[in-house]
Amino acid sequence: MERAELVRELKTLRKGRALAGRVEDRVGPALRSACEVSDADGMVTIRAKVSDRLSELSSQLPEDLRLAALAAFAITPEARQPLYQDRMRWAALRVDRDPRTVRRRVDEAIELLAELALASPASSTPGNWHTLSLTMALVLEESCVFEHHRLVADQDDLRSFDLAVPAGTVLYGGTLSEGTVELPRALSRGESWEFAAVFPAEPKTRLVYLPRHRCEVFDLRVRFGKEGPSEVLALDGAFERDIPDPHYRGRVLQADAAGEVHLQFRHLTPGLVYGARWAP
């Protein structure tokens, strides 16, 4: 694969709607090779493979270049405007720079993405499992979080997977030790597994999930009870620095008559934040 050809294809892909549009004819041979896209893949699969690969590579970039790249290719949900120039204006506001500066950063990011893709083929990148679905429920009145994971092994002889969680009570599916779930038996490639646990929760003003592996569905419920907040803000594909940022504005939600909010996110981008926050 020639680096120059991959750079050219990435610059073509960022135009128009980028990955938010039709991609079958806009993902060239070099990019197909870098993202392990096969001739049998349809539009949805091509979009998912290219988006996941560019997200994984972008996670290795400095934050300003990472933001510029995710906006350029319309991977960040908030930046899925139909025109490239609109996405550049969005990114410029986020980093407090003018759009021309952001466009230069996109060019720099593309050069680095091509180098990273050639240095680490997709088949050799880490990822021995991925999540089919994650269900989380926070019950503030009981100060506990319930989690149910349904994962799939991407390699043979998978014996554990990592969770960035404190010690909790395992309900079924394995043994939790220092953030690692030890499985009762090894899984074969393609085999699915379910794990559930309950964790203690201190008084919170947010509950977010930052996936490090591919995640298809994240289902989140927060039960506030009678004394719920007046406003709940959804974080959908946000950056880590957006979590405490008072100027970040996402989708506004209202708790229902039972004092609950329910959110569901699909096809999450590794390295971005999904969840909810609210005023104390």
pLDDT digits (tens, 9 = 90+) for 120-167: 666 544 468 889 999 999 999 888 999 999 999 888 899 998 876 667
CA distance 136 to 219: 6
Please name the residue ranges forming H helices in the chain. 3-13, 29-34, 43-58, 63-72, 84-95, 99-119
Residue found by looking up tokens 């969680």 in the block: 165
Q: Give the pTM.
A: 0.67
pLDDT at 125: 47
pLDDT at 123: 53
CA distance 37 to 255: 42
pLDDT at 201: 85
CA distance 46 to 35: 9
pLDDT at 239: 80
Segments of the chain scoring below 50 in pLDDT? 124-126
Q: How far is CA 253 from CA 73, 225, 263, in A?
A: 28, 15, 9
